[in-house]
A = this chain, B = another copy of it.
Amino acid sequence: MSHLTINLTLEEIYDLAKTALLSQGANEENAAAIANTVTIAERDGAISHGLFRIPGYIVGLQSKKVVGTATPEIEEVTPIIFRCDAKNGYAPLTHEHCLPPLIDAAKKFGLAAVAIQNSHHFAALWPEVEKMSEAGLIGLTTVSYLPWVAPAGGKTPIFGTNPMAFSWPRAGKNPVVIDMATSSMAMGEVMIAARDGYEVPLGTGLSESGELTTDAAEIVKGVLLPFGGHKGSALALMVELLSGPLVGETFSYETQERDKAEEGPARGGQFILAISPDILSGKNTSEQTDRFFEKYDAIEGARTPGARRHKNRENSGPRSVNADLVKTIEQLRTDGLIT
């Protein structure tokens, strides 16, 4: 794939994604929900979750593993716990269904959670948690995936890249949004590095033979490592437990066993938690939090998580997209085949 790019408006990105998904059998609701997550990723400059994902979404539809016409079902287990069966569809439509009752319950009782089952999650996590923070809530979510990551000290993969996202609401401002793989790098980033042929830092992962390497393509064939040694590895374990057995779903290795011989993103679980700072604290802490971030932002070298995306978001103009990728997606729409 070359480095040539073309400019597309956000509307063009949305239409390209949506029409491609519709042409592959996704219904209106699912295609719109997926196209939206792809578009907001491109809007925010998060290209590894933008149009780059559309061929993968389509592979899942073509293999019939993912149901493009799924309608999620929600069960209210207690007034604050919802179990949501994604019915083997992609995650975005499930989120559109389950976030409103989750938000309502958390605003009423202070906490609420959703256990998502049978979902194919193939996007970033920040869209879910930002939605909760737009409603004044803390959002926390985790997913696991296929076993690509070895625990610290080991060479055998057992964890997914196991991302977690956390969002803190700020009145009249963008929320503070952490969205990070507990692996040293997200697999999407390693895949982009492999595609574009640049090196990754030593410590990112091991080759197929268990050696440290800076070659992203070797790591895609081998194993990723957690970030931050044994502490990061402990967090990967926590995410594995929260996204699997807590929500009645599979560990990463079980996801792989269930998934074998199929193509496209695997089916698994997701944990989503909403917390109301207003109810827990018993007060409005906006001014206090603003003072903290003034001090934080004044520290040279400190990054505010999510700020780079929010900065990109201010630009309403066209986005620069890989030209070969656009051509691939356009062909999919016409020919219906993955090339």
Contact = CB atoms under 8 A, between A and B. Distances in A.
A282 B151 contact: no
Given A228-B227, A238-B166, A111 B81 contact: yes
B289 A245 contact: yes
B277 A245 contact: yes
Residue from the set A110, A138, A305 with the largest chain B CB neighbour count within 10 Å: A110
Contact of A246 (B80, B109, B178, B280): B280
A316 interface: no
Interface residues of chain A: helix, strand, loop or mixed (majority): mixed
A288 B166 CA distance: 27
Interface in A200-236: 227-235
A283 to B, nearest CB: 6
A251 interface: yes
Interface in A241-263: 241-242, 244-249, 251, 253-254
B231 A281 contact: no
Contact of A151 (B234, B273, B296): B296
A80 B281 CA distance: 14
Contact of A158 (B244, B275, B295): B295
The oligomer's copy count stands at 2
Given A158-B295, A168-B241, A77 B303 contact: no
Contacts of A182: 231
Interface of A: 77-81, 83, 108-113, 115, 138, 150-156, 158, 166, 168, 176, 178, 180, 182, 227-235, 237-238, 240-242, 244-249, 251, 253-254, 271, 273, 275, 277, 279-283, 285, 288-289, 292, 295-296, 299-303, 305
Q: Give the top 7 A-B pairs by smallest Cβ distance, nearest first.
A: A228-B228, A153-B301, A248-B281, A245-B285, A81-B110, A151-B302, A154-B299
